[in-house]
């Protein structure tokens, strides 16, 4: 299933105009005619930076040995992902079915599987807590990671004070990670791009009930030290935020509209986003999230424009994910099939240079 070029090249509404208004470069995303050898096509996402988070194939990582012929466990699944073409792995836990080895696999054994297949661990979704952080750093170092992170937000609060506390913790843990040669990162879902309650009348607990229009994670950008705290944008959930978090009530009680733009969120601070989840979705305005997850390249999200506009292609790592990839007992091979489709479509993205 080749990438649908119409969908890839269709610009997200207003993004180009907004970039220009912000003084940021607006790049040509349509495929140009190549004449007289003046332009050359290069991969938009370099081969070495194409990854997958294992949550997308969690059913096969956690599967017990069976006779289906479908890979199971770390050794077989990682070998299959390398065969597909992936070069990087983002972890979502370090356990497999204990019947494979008669015990749980170790980080050292997982590292050997990575090395044997020419794979690199580029990150992880684990708990980021002060009391267990050293242990998590030890595991990450054993696996050769340059990034360590979590799949949840620093806080789910709508109030500045809680984000301030979170920033203090993350700045300290980020310093510890840097000393070990790693970047600490947080991963967003749509709620992180909802609006703070930071103005207007106070409730019974003395908390603001209205918003200045500042989004939660954008406030965190200003409080988290850029030397120590980094981000992994889940592109799908960022576009869900664009659909869901459009309005807020200002301090005078008036409803205001502010359309979230994922590209404009990244572009001015692109070096704070070393990792992305390249997760695709079909528009479905009748759904609560406005989108339904599909394999990369089969949805409506414009990855071509996104990765061109944010620049620094060699710096960014794209990890494919689809939360709904596992097919269950009815289709146990679905997640690995979707991984293959998504890798091919990720590979089809190109950029043209002089």
Query: Per-residue pLDDT tens for 29-76?
Result: 444 444 446 788 899 999 999 999 999 999 999 999 988 899 999 999
Q: Residue 46 phi/psi, 5° resolution?
A: -55, 145
Residue 144, token pair as written in the block: 């050769």
Place of tokens 């991963």: 187
Q: Domains of the chain (ranges plus CATH)?
A: 39-353 (3.20.20.150)
Query: Is the predicted pLDDT of residue 22 greater than 60, yes or no?
Result: no
For the whole model, what pTM was predicted? 0.90
| Structure confidence at residue 350 (pLDDT) | 94
Mean pLDDT calculated for residue range 177-181: 98
| Structure confidence at residue 145 (pLDDT) | 98
Q: Which of these, 233, 295, 308, lies nearest to 84 by C-alpha position?
A: 295
Whole-number mean pLDDT of the chain?
Answer: 91
38-to-41, 209, 336, 339 alpha-carbon distances in Å? 10, 57, 39, 35
Query: Is the predicted pLDDT of residue 177 greater than 80, yes or no?
Result: yes
Mean pLDDT calculated for residue range 307-318: 95
Query: Is the predicted pLDDT of residue 291 greater than 80, yes or no?
Result: yes
Q: What percent of the chain has pLDDT over 90?
A: 87
The H or E element spanning position 49 is none
Q: What is the 3-state secondary structure (H, E, C) of 78-90?
A: HHHHHHHCCCEEE
Q: Which of these, 336, 325, 324, lies nearest to 68 by C-alpha position?
A: 336
Cα Rg, the chain, nearest whole Å: 21
| Structure confidence at residue 289 (pLDDT) | 96
């Amino acid at each position: 299933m080749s990438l649908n070029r119409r969908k890839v090249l269709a610009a997200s509404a207003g993004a180009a105009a907004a970039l220009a208004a912000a003084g940021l470069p607006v790049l040509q995303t349509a495929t140009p005619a190549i004449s007289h050898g003046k332009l050359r096509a290069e991969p938009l996402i370099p081969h070495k930076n194409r990854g997958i988070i294992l949550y997308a194939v969690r059913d096969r990582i956690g599967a017990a040995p069976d006779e289906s012929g479908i890979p199971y466990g770390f050794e077989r699944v990682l070998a299959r992902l390398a065969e597909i073409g992936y070069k990087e792995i983002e972890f979502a836990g370090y356990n497999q079915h204990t019947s494979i080895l008669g015990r749980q696999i170790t980080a050292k054994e997982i590292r050997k599987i990575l090395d044997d297949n020419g794979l690199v661990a580029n990150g992880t979704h684990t708990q980021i807590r002060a009391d267990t952080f050293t242990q998590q750093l030890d595991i990450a170092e054993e696996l050769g990671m340059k990034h360590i992170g979590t799949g949840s937000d620093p806080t789910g609060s709508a109030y500045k004070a809680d984000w301030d506390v979170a920033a203090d913790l993350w700045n300290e843990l980020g310093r510890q990670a840097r000393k070990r040669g790693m970047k600490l990162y947080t991963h967003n879902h749509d709620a992180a791009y909802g609006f703070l309650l930071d103005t207007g009348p106070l409730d019974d607990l003395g908390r603001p009930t209205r918003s200045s229009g500042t989004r939660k994670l954008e406030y965190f950008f200003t409080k988290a030290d850029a030397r120590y705290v980094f981000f992994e944008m889940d592109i799908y959930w960022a576009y869900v935020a664009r659909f869901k978090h459009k309005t807020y009530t200002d301090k005078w009680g008036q409803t205001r509209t502010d359309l979230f733009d994922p590209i404009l969120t990244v572009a001015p601070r692109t070096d704070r986003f070393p990792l992305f989840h390249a997760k695709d979705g079909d528009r479905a305005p009748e759904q609560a999230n406005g989108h339904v997850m599909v394999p990369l390249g089969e949805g409506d999200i414009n990855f071509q424009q996104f990765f061109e506009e944010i620049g620094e292609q060699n710096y960014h790592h794209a990890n494919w994910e689809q939360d709904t990839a596992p097919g269950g007992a009815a289709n146990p091979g679905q997640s690995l099939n979707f991984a293959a489709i998504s890798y091919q479509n990720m590979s089809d993205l190109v950029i043209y240079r002089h």
